[in-house]
Amino acid sequence: MLEIVRIPVLSDNYVWLAHEAESRETMVVDPAVADPVLAEANARGWQITQIWNTHWHPDHTGGNEAIKAATGCTITGPEAEQARIPTLDVMVKEGDTVALGPVVADVIDVPAHTAGHIAYHLPSEQAAFVGDTLFAMGCGRLFEGTAEQMYANMRKLEGLPDETKVYCAHEYTEANGRYAVTAEPDNQALAERMDQVLAMRAKGEATVPTTIGDERATNPFMRARSADELAARRAAKDAF
């Protein structure tokens, strides 16, 4: 059973720190920066043993080098982006698994935001670390891939159990929701969720992790009925 801690850094990034008590292993997902992550681990008496990266963007890998220098941890990330993440020790792709003590993660290929983006699904924890592919009521921008790829990614992720907690890498929920309610104005679950999100954000509360079930009900990108509809919604959101 993992203990998972949210570390807000930069303007809207979330770094996730996960500790496995039996093995005493501690893992960081997508450290944008090093110092707040090392400080949080130290404060809890946890020794960071691993970093898992989802994609090469600097706001997901910027802390790799300094955390490794401070802890000697092992860095795992997407094989397809090894040239862009020179700090990687272990390269993985769909079909591979990564272990944190007894906890096993399945690697899922989710290219589109970047060409080699991966996600980590931990079935025993009912958790998934999805980087910048799936957000609360949103999806990542299509920087290095196509709407067809993102549509396929959404099929993979919506196939996870509804109760799966989705640990995304940014607090984009309010801005996503403001667009989402225009894409699906008749979606009552979406309207209710947006009311809740506005109330939470007004109090400065984090709105993630989300769940696969909530995204199936309210996410206009997961709910797009075709790659073309996803493309149109992505373009509309980019210009929103």
Q: Which of 30, 117, 121, 132 is catalytic?
A: 132
Piece in contact with Fe ion (CB under 5 A), picked from 16-24, 127-135, 192-200, 205-213: 127-135
Q: How far apart are CA 122 and CA 3, in angstroms?
A: 13
Q: How far apart are CA 12 and CA 9, in angstroms?
A: 7
| 57 catalytic per annotation | yes
Of residues 20-79, those binding Zn ion (CB under 5 A): 57
- For Zn ion, the closer of residues 132 and 214 by Cβ is 132
Q: How far is the CB of 171 from Zn ion (least distance, A)?
A: 14
Q: Is 7 helix (H, G, I), strand (E, B) or coil?
A: strand
Q: How far is the CB of 75 from Fe ion (least distance, A)?
A: 17
| 60 catalytic per annotation | yes
- For Fe ion, the closer of residues 47 and 87 by Cβ is 87
CB 111 within 8 Å of CB 148: no
- For Fe ion, the closer of residues 116 and 184 by Cβ is 116
Piece in contact with Fe ion (CB under 5 A), picked from 1-9, 57-65, 71-79, 186-194: 57-65
CA angle in degrees (0–180, nearest 5) for 13-14-18 = 155
Of residues 131-150, those binding Fe ion (CB under 5 A): 132
Enter the tokens of residue 158. Answer: 């919506």
Type of residue at 189 = A
Q: Is residue 20 a contact point for Fe ion (CB under 5 A)?
A: no
Q: Which of 30, 59, 109, 214 is catalytic?
A: 59
- For Zn ion, the closer of residues 125 and 132 by Cβ is 132
Instruction: Output the DSSP codes for 121-151.
Output: EEGGGTEEEEETSEETTEE---SSS-HHHHH
Nearest CA-CA partner of 48 in 80, 16, 79: 16
Q: How far is the CB of 56 from Zn ion (least distance, A)?
A: 8
Enter the tokens of residue 91. Answer: 């390269």
The binder of Fe ion chosen from 20, 59, 171, 214 (CB under 5 A) = 59
Q: How far apart are CA 77 and CA 69, in angstroms?
A: 17
Enter the tokens of residue 125. Answer: 């924890």
Q: How far apart are CA 171 and CA 176, in angstroms?
A: 10
- For Fe ion, the closer of residues 46 and 52 by Cβ is 52
CB 8 within 8 Å of CB 14: yes
Among Fe ion, Zn ion, none, what does residue 237 contact (CB within 5–8 Å per kind)? none
| 117 catalytic per annotation | no
Of residues 95-154, those binding Zn ion (CB under 5 A): 132
| Residues found near Fe ion in the complex (CB under 5 A) | 59, 132
Residues noted as catalytic? 55, 57, 59-60, 113, 132, 170
